[in-house]
């Protein structure tokens, strides 16, 4: 851990004096700067955002649920939140499945030998070696009994000319469900073209979902380049034969932790605004965009509110979820433990540290109207959407809000070795922080009552 220089006190003092005692009233700045303005200004010059993300990225690094690295991330997060002086700083246990990548190898045996970059999909079974010709398909509809005894390659391209987020869901289906669908037709293994529009020979992992009663076959991602190559050869009638070895295996379930901290509400402490992201990442890269940026935005949003001495009407609760990537058990555990509480809204950042573009929200018409009203001064438009970690709260009627930043860089690097600290643009990521802290403040301090 590095020791970090505290924010200059004079900045904090400027806006604090009256608000610390104002208690139930709306927080205002000593020099008449409204709290929202002061918070967003502080966010844009936050000198801890990057050092904290650097430590999470560089010292902790990749942190899959159940791993020792995630345990270090939990410790780090608790330490930051305590250092910042929050209340009710705690960890809450989350049972997580544990999966280990192991050694992996994908070799092309024909038409000529090549060793390809490969990343097993999270949760896949291992194989000591499966060898077969490849059948290339670009949709589930192309699967047939002809793939029996073969290895299926799902080659579903994304276009760099279209926004990634509009294509991601459709392409990621093949990553999640390809193995089960191919196994249903007798395939021996599934390969998936990495879910990305732009690649520099960069495989992307992600989770695979098996189905009850369907054979669990090995599943792995290859690069966009290699998938395109195999597809071109297949289109010319050239058989591609490969051998896949995956050391992937499951271990016993383990306990990871959601990390929680609060700024207690002055007027309505039982009304809770959640701000969070997921502390885990896939087991490659540093999880800098996915979701280190979101985690540090949540931590820094909390710190700036406290640093400026602002006391919100409602309670603001940071929730750093233990496990999003490998089965969402962090979000599920939080909802199971806390759904009975009065959540006014849950806000999540999990699309990277890019420049904010819009909020994506899910809720009742009244909740969405409330959001539109409180979000208006924050300077980011509202659209439809949400977030994975907070989604289990949706079933309990909680207003769900996700930050949707410019996500081109995020989708290029997420789930890869390239999701590293150097990919974070500090100006853009702090602009995201300004949006997050602004909206959290508005949600927590709105005076007339939330739906």
Residue 28's Cα: distance from chain center in Å?
33
What residues numbered 310-369 form the site for a second copy, per CB under 8 A? none
CB of 9 to a second copy, least distance (A): 25
Among 124, 202, 323, 442, which residue sits at the site for a second copy (rule: CB under 8 A)?
202
Q: What are phi and psi of 6, to 5 degrees?
A: -70, 155
Distance CA 130, CA 128 (A): 7
Distance CA 149, CA 183 (A): 10
Residue 168 as a binder of a second copy (CB under 8 A): the answer is no
| Strand order across the 314-321 sheet | 87-100, 249-263, 314-321, 268-278, 342-349, 400-405, 356-362, 381-384
Residue 206 as a binder of a second copy (CB under 8 A): the answer is no
CB of 121 to a second copy, least distance (A): 18
Distance CA 273, CA 111 (A): 58
Question: What string marks each residue from 210 to 249 as x (binds a second copy by CB under 8 A) or -?
Answer: -------------xxx--xx--xx--x-------------
Distance CA 348, CA 337 (A): 18
Residue bearing tokens 């919100």: 312
**Three-state SS for 93?**
strand
239 is catalytic: no
Cβ distance to a second copy smaller for residue 1 or 384: 1
Question: What string marks each residue from 286 to 305 as x (binds a second copy by CB under 8 A) or -?
Answer: x-------------------
Choose the stretch contacting a second copy; rule: CB under 8 A; options: 27-35, 140-148, 307-315, 415-423.
415-423
CB of 82 to a second copy, least distance (A): 22
Residue 422 as a binder of a second copy (CB under 8 A): the answer is yes
Contacts of 271 (CB under 8 A, 6+ apart): 265, 313, 314, 315, 342, 344, 450
Distance CA 386, CA 161 (A): 24
Residue 417's Cα: distance from chain center in Å?
15
CB of 202 to a second copy, least distance (A): 4
Residue 365 gets which letter from DSSP? H
Among 19, 67, 155, 199, which residue sits at the site for a second copy (rule: CB under 8 A)?
199
Distance CA 85, CA 97 (A): 33
What residues numbered 58-117 form the site for a second copy, per CB under 8 A? 58-59, 61, 111-112, 114, 117
CB of 71 to a second copy, least distance (A): 13
Distance CA 184, CA 277 (A): 35
| Residue of 78, 262, 271, 324 marked active site | 324
Among 321, 410, 421, 441, which residue sits at the site for a second copy (rule: CB under 8 A)?
421
Among 305, 310, 418, 444, which residue sits at the site for a second copy (rule: CB under 8 A)?
418
Cβ distance to a second copy smaller for residue 104 or 177: 104
Residue 412 as a binder of a second copy (CB under 8 A): the answer is yes
Q: Give the interface size with a second copy as a residue count (CB under 8 A).
A: 32
Residue 379 gets which letter from DSSP? T
The strand pair at 127-137 and 219-222 is best described as unpaired
Cβ distance to a second copy smaller for residue 343 or 415: 415
CB of 2 to a second copy, least distance (A): 6
Query: What does R_g of the chain's alpha carbons equal in angstroms?
Result: 23
CB of 68 to a second copy, least distance (A): 10
Which residues are annotated as catalytic?
Answer: 324
Residues in the site for a second copy, rule: CB under 8 A?
A: 2, 54, 58-59, 61, 111-112, 114, 117, 198-202, 223-225, 228-229, 232-233, 236, 285-286, 412-413, 416-418, 420-422
């Amino acid at each position: 851990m590095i020791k970090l220089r505290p924010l200059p006190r004079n900045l904090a003092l400027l806006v604090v004096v009256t608000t610390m005692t104002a208690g139930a009233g709306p927080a205002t700045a000593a020099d008449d700067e409204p709290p929202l303005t002061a918070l967003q200004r502080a966010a844009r010059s936050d000198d801890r955002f990057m050092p904290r993300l650097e430590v999470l990225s560089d010292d902790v690094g990749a942190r899959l649920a159940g791993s020792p690295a995630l345990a270090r991330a939990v410790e780090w997060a608790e330490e930051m939140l305590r250092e910042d002086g929050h209340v009710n700083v705690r960890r809450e246990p989350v049972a997580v499945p544990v999966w280990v990548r192991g050694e992996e190898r994908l070799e092309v045996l024909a038409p000529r030998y090549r060793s390809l970059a490969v990343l097993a999909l999270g949760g896949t079974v291992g194989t000591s070696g499966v060898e077969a010709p490849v059948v290339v398909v670009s949709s589930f509809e192309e699967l047939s009994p002809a793939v029996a005894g073969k290895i299926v390659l799902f080659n579903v391209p994304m276009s760099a000319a279209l926004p990634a987020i509009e294509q991601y869901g459709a392409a990621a289906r093949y990553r999640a469900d390809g193995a089960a669908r191919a196994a249903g037709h007798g395939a021996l293994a599934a390969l998936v073209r990495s879910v990305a529009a732009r690649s520099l020979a960069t495989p992307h992992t992600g989770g695979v979902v098996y189905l009850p009663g369907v054979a669990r076959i090995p599943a792995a991602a290859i690069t966009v380049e290699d998938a395109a190559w195999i597809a071109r050869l297949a289109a010319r009638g050239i058989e591609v034969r490969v051998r896949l070895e995956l050391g992937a295996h499951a271990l016993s379930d383990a306990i990871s932790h959601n990390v929680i901290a609060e700024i207690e509400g002055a007027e309505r402490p039982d009304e809770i605004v959640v701000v969070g992201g997921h502390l885990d990442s896939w087991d490659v890269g540093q999880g800098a965009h996915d979701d280190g940026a979101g985690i540090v935005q949540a931590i820094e949003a909390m710190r700036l509110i406290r640093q400026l001495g602002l006391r919100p009407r409602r309670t603001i609760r940071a929730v750093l979820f233990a496990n999003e990537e490998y089965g969402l058990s962090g979000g599920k555990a939080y909802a199971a433990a806390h759904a009975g509480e009065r959540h006014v809204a849950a806000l999540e950042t999990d699309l990277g540290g890019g420049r904010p573009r819009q909020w994506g929200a899910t809720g009742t018409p009244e909740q969405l109207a409330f959001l539109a009203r409180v979000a208006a001064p924050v300077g980011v438009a509202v659209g439809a959407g949400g977030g994975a970690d907070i989604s289990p709260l949706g079933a309990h009627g909680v207003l769900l809000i996700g930050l949707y930043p410019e996500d081109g860089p995020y989708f290029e690097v997420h789930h890869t070795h390239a999701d590293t600290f150097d990919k974070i643009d500090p100006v853009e990521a702090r602009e995201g922080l300004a949006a997050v802290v602004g909206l959290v403040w508005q949600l927590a301090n709105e005076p007339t009552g939330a739906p």
